[in-house]
Amino acid sequence: MENKDIWQSVLAQIQFHISKANFATWFQNTEVISKKDGIVVVSVPNAFSKEWLSNKYNKLILKGLHGIDDKIKEVEYIIRPQSSKSPNLKPSLTTEKINIEQLNFEEFKVDKETNLNPRYTFDNFVVGSFNELAHAAALAVSENPGFTYNPLFIYGGVGLGKTHLLQAVGNKIIESLKKKKVKYISSEKFVTGIVTAIRNHSIDAFKTSLSLIDVLIIDDVQFLAGKNKTQEEFFHAFNALYEKNKQIILSSDRPPNAIPELEERLRSRFEGGMIADISLPDYETRLVILKTKLQEKHSELPEEILDYITNNVKKNIRELEGALNRLLIYYKINNTPPTLEVAKKLLKSYIFSPFDIANYKKIIEVVAKFYNLEEKDLFEATRRKEIVGPRQVAMFLLRKELKYSFPAIARKFGGKDHTTAIYACRKVSQKFEENDKLTEEINLIKQRIYSG
Amino acid sequence: MKAEVLKNNIKIGLNIVEKVVGKNISLPILDNVLINTEDNFLLLTATDLETAIKYWVLAKNTKKGKIVVPVRFLANFVSLLLEEKISLEEKKQNLLLECKNYKTQIQGFNPEDFPIIPEVKDYEFLMIDNKSFCNGLAQIVDVASTSQARPEISGIYLLFSQNTLKIAATDSFRLAEKTISVENKNKKNYAIILPQKSVREIINTLGEKDGDLKICFSGNQTLFEFPIKEMNHPQVQIFSRLIEGEYPNYQEIIPKKFKTHIVAKKEEFLNHIKAASLFSGKINEIKFNVDPVKKNIEISAHNPDIGESKSSLPTKIEGEPIEISFNHKFLIDGILNIKSSELALDLNGEDGPCILKPIGDSSYIYVVMPIKST
């Protein structure tokens, strides 16, 4: 007989002998936690219950237990306070509502052990065609960590929900599989951790702490680029966890093969599991996201304004939320919902922000950075392959995104003939159709140009 | 049970123990006081199953025994008596109370049904000056979170280390910390989280008393004991359960640096805030515009339904200019607990934590988060 069943049948007997109030007061949150050598250990929620049960009801309880199993000779009581994490104690929505504008100590929301922020869950993650693969993969991983896709690698531009998805997996695993140890760590923290460990000669302790984890989540792994010692340590940690079927989840702003200065052995491992991308949300999804956010904040805005935001803030979900917040603050101060005119004025900085608009400098900068070149390399008069390719991409983007004329492009690149520019654009757009890798690269570059 | 007591003594005792009794529908026995004979004392006990108070009243006991009677009723009745000497007698669970001109019978309950107050065994203890302890608690107690969503921050955190006691509370929007000196001979730190209600009980019961308070630590309970002045016997014991859990590492929240440093006269500053608060809206927002060049703070608030207010407070300011908004309630709570005539307000940008503290007294610190400025 299970401990739970034993206690249930004892309680069933006891309820006939004492008053309902007494029963509710003293037997609430009690349970049998062990049965061994004729001694049954009962856990009680507080010292009062312990005194009461052991002094007043001991005989009754013992009799009940004896009736079930005549080997039981003794009952012991220990105090075990209820875990603070009972599910019905979730922060109520009403208090959230009042305090939206009141900032609080962020540190308090984050779970110290896992570093996860409980705000990020699957429930408030909006799924659309742009992220459904990543979402499905993440969900599958959270249901069976370590076995479905290991590692899970999610990439996508700034402000599109990578961190949300990663933390949602962590939160879900903690919620459903309590025994799993989850650790969320940004790669910057990871690097600092390793550096400190090296300095304090405690690298072994650091390694041990990593090996105890069941689910390791590392955000923004592209920052590991060029940090060789960290990559080495990470490689070992990765292997140790992978061998034990521990889940590893990574995110980055680009696919593994586009991360420069990443060691080959790490790259191949990143690619060994499941790679899913998050691209830009479409109109419908952006609208759904806005509406979800509104619901979270218990406010409403006219449809035409939502439509305006959705149509004009396209590249970044975080900015979408920022735009929404600005309108809500206006709403709150003036007690009237903003009109479309007001909304246009308020959102000017979101929609026509200088950072949002692609310009010549930005394109050159992003292209150079993406291919890990110096900006001046692009203008060098050379036909080296590693430079020609990126240069052509830059020309292509100048043409496509800024509608530069061919002669203008040619002039920018050190007085080349305008036919060079025409050739470059034609070649890239041709390759763009055929070559998946290039398509991917250009999409990522574009994303970064626009998400600034 | 049969005993004789002085009316005033038992009245004080009843008033103290009745505070712990709340409305308890599921277990009506908790509305009662247990009166017990113990050597030369009557022991009064009341509890709400979270906190328990025991109070000893000097008495002439002629017959041992115990009785359980409704505590509010008894307290109300006793306070109406004019006579000095009262005699109490138990007869079939009822209390017969007699004095010169009165003869009353109060219906009681079976003492066996009264909860057993757990004994604090195998404890370690330390002594602390009662007044400074209670004053410290009083500066902190109101800050604790009233929501039960996170039980550990609904309580008051006490950390007894070698020479100091740190008392802290937070509701995740603000945080208060008080440091007082304590002699801890045990070479061991004690960290406990007391429920807010127990702390209020301690302040109410012991707040005014001079002398040393004995604090006993034992597992998940803590006992506060205050002795009778004239003899070596406890006068009152407050027993409290502790809140389980780990208190957040709040030290990380207290900023070490600041961008704008303001020193102001407390009363003046408080008046400006109170004036502005009348014009604040639903979220209690008041706005500071701090100008270090003009050495001036402009405090403003507006509410579409009431109007708006602006006031200038010339004062000492160093650092960057800033516009920042606060919930005036949170600011006022902090300022009211500052005892010095001048206070310092350190700001860390419009969305960083700010510090309020008294000038010339480093024992109290109040951290508050601003409201997202609009």
Mark yes or no for CB contact B49/A51 under 8 Å: no
Listed residues B220, B251, B282: the one ending a domain: B251
Query: Cβ of B123 under 8 Å from any chain A Cβ?
Result: no
Nearest CB among B116, B170, B220 relative to A55 is that of B116
Q: Which residues of B touch A102 (CB under 8 A)?
A: 173, 283, 327, 369, 371-372
- Kindly report the nearest CA distance between residue A96 and chain B, in angstroms: 11
Q: Which residues of A touch B49 (CB under 8 A)?
A: 25, 46, 48
Which of A295-304, A352-361, A374-383, B364-373 shows the lowest mean pLDDT across its residues? A352-361
The answer on B238 and B273 residing in a single domain is no
The answer on B310 and B284 residing in a single domain is yes
Q: What is the mean pLDDT of chain A?
A: 81
Segment A309-317 mean pLDDT = 80
pLDDT tens digit sequence for A4-33: 888 888 888 888 888 888 888 888 888 888
Which of A349-353, A401-405, B323-327 shows the lowest mean pLDDT across its residues? A349-353
Contacts of A136 (CB under 8 A, 6+ apart): none
The answer on B283 and B313 residing in a single domain is yes
The dotted CATH code for A283-351 is 1.10.8.60
Q: Which residues of B touch A299 (CB under 8 A)?
A: none
Yes or no: domain A360-451 corresponds to CATH 1.10.3720.10: no
Mark yes or no for CB contact B151/A84 under 8 Å: yes
Pick A40 or A258 by higher pLDDT. A40
Query: Cβ of B152 under 8 Å from any chain A Cβ?
Result: yes
User: CB atoms < 10 A from the CB of A348, how many?
Assistant: 10
Segment B149-174 mean pLDDT = 89
Which of A85-89, A209-213, A388-392, A419-423 shows the lowest mean pLDDT across its residues? A85-89
The answer on B218 and B107 residing in a single domain is no
Domain that holds residue B63: 2-113
Residue A81 has pLDDT above 80, yes or no: no
Residue A96 has pLDDT above 50, yes or no: no
The answer on B102 and B28 residing in a single domain is yes
Nearest by Cα to B11 from B101, B81, B107: B81
Residue A132 has pLDDT above 90, yes or no: no
Which of A21-30, A88-97, A148-157, B194-203 shows the lowest mean pLDDT across its residues? A88-97
Structural domain count, chain B? 3
Segment A337-341 mean pLDDT = 81
The answer on B65 and B16 residing in a single domain is yes
Q: Tell me if B48 is assigned to some domain.
A: yes
Mark yes or no for CB contact B221/A99 under 8 Å: no
- Look at residue A267 in the predicted model and tell me its pLDDT: 87
- Look at residue B335 in the predicted model and tell me its pLDDT: 94
pLDDT tens digit sequence for B189-229: 899 999 999 999 999 999 888 899 999 998 888 999 999 88
Quote the pTM value.
Answer: 0.64
Question: A182-186 and A215-219: which strand pairing?
Answer: parallel
Listed residues B62, B84, B113: the one ending a domain: B113
Contact B92, B16 (CB under 8 A): no
Residue A143 has pLDDT above 50, yes or no: yes
Mark yes or no for CB contact B26/A24 under 8 Å: yes
Pick B55 or A413 by higher pLDDT. B55
Residue A389 has pLDDT above 80, yes or no: yes
Q: Which residues of B touch A57 (CB under 8 A)?
A: none
The answer on B321 and B306 residing in a single domain is yes
Which of A92-96, B142-146, B281-285 shows the lowest mean pLDDT across its residues? A92-96
- Kindly report the nearest CA distance between residue B86 and chain A, in angstroms: 32
Nearest CA in chain B to A330: B374
Nearest CB among A51, A104, A107 relative to B118 is that of A51
Nearest CA in chain A to B243: A81
Task: Find the CATH number of the domain harbouring B306.
Answer: 3.10.150.10
Residue B338 has pLDDT above 90, yes or no: yes
- Look at residue A350 in the predicted model and tell me its pLDDT: 67
Nearest CA in chain A to B251: A107
Listed residues B231, B251, B271: the one ending a domain: B251
Candidates A103, A325, A327, partner chain B, best to mutate (most B CBs within 10 A): A103
Query: Cβ of B110 under 8 Å from any chain A Cβ?
Result: no
Segment B237-262 mean pLDDT = 88
Provide the pLDDT confidence category of residue A92 given band limits of 50, 70 and 90: very low
> What type of residue is A307?
D
Q: Tell me if B64 is assigned to some domain.
A: yes
What kind of architecture, by CATH, is found in domain A112-278? 3-Layer(aba) Sandwich (3.40)
Mark yes or no for CB contact A22/B27 under 8 Å: yes
- Look at residue B266 in the predicted model and tell me its pLDDT: 94
Q: Where in chain A is the domain with CATH 3.30.300.180?
A: 3-79
Nearest CB among B115, B244, B253 relative to A81 is that of B244
Query: Cβ of B307 under 8 Å from any chain A Cβ?
Result: no
Provide the pLDDT confidence category of residue A279 given band limits of 50, 70 and 90: confident
Chain A residues within 8 A (CB-CB) of chain B? Answer: 21-22, 24-25, 46-48, 50-52, 55-56, 79, 81, 84, 89-92, 95, 98-99, 101-105, 107-109, 112, 329, 332-335
Contacts of B4 (CB under 8 A, 6+ apart): B59, B60, B62, B85, B86, B87, B88
Nearest CB among A50, A52, A335 relative to B304 is that of A335
Mark yes or no for CB contact A48/B28 under 8 Å: no
Residue A87 has pLDDT above 70, yes or no: no
Q: What does the H/E/C string look like for chain B?
A: CEEEEEHHHHHHHHHHHHCCCCCCCCCHHHHEEEEEEECCEEEEEEECCCEEEEEEEEEEEEECCEEEEEHHHHHHHHHHCCCCEEEEEEECCEEEEECCCCEEEECCECHHHCCCCCCCCCCEEEEEEHHHHHHHHHHHHHHCCCCCCCHHHHEEEEEECCCEEEEEEECCCEEEEEEEECCCCCCCCEEEEEEHHHHHHHHHHHCCCCCEEEEEEECCEEEEEEECCCCCCEEEEEEEECCCCCCCCHHHCCCCCCCEEEEEEHHHHHHHHHHHHCCCCCCCEEEEEEECCCCEEEEEEEECCCEEEEEEEECEEEECCEEEEEEHHHHHHHHHCCCCCEEEEEECCCCCCEEEEECCCCCEEEEECCECCC
- Kindly report the nearest CA distance between residue A322 and chain B, in angstroms: 13
Q: Which residues of B touch A332 (CB under 8 A)?
A: 283, 374
Provide the pLDDT confidence category of residue A228 given band limits of 50, 70 and 90: confident
Query: Cβ of B306 under 8 Å from any chain A Cβ?
Result: no
The answer on B172 and B95 residing in a single domain is no
Percent of chain B past pLDDT 70, that is, above it, reads 99
The answer on B269 and B245 residing in a single domain is no
Q: Where in chain A is the domain with CATH 3.40.50.300?
A: 112-278
Place of tokens 């402009």: B298
The answer on B69 and B12 residing in a single domain is yes
**Distance, CA of B236 to CA of B227 (rounded, Å):** 7
- Look at residue A110 in the predicted model and tell me its pLDDT: 67
- Look at residue B300 in the predicted model and tell me its pLDDT: 93
Q: Where in chain A is the domain with CATH 1.10.8.60?
A: 283-351
- Look at residue A109 in the predicted model and tell me its pLDDT: 64
- Kindly report the nearest CA distance between residue A182 and chain B, in angstroms: 19
> Prior bond to A151 cis, omega within 30?
yes
Looking at 3.90.850.10, 3.90.79.10, 3.10.129.10, 3.30.300.180, the CATH number of the domain A3-79 comes to 3.30.300.180
User: CB atoms < 10 A from the CB of B290, how many?
Assistant: 24
Residue B329 has pLDDT above 60, yes or no: yes
The answer on B354 and B260 residing in a single domain is yes
Mark yes or no for CB contact B351/A105 under 8 Å: no
The answer on B284 and B214 residing in a single domain is no
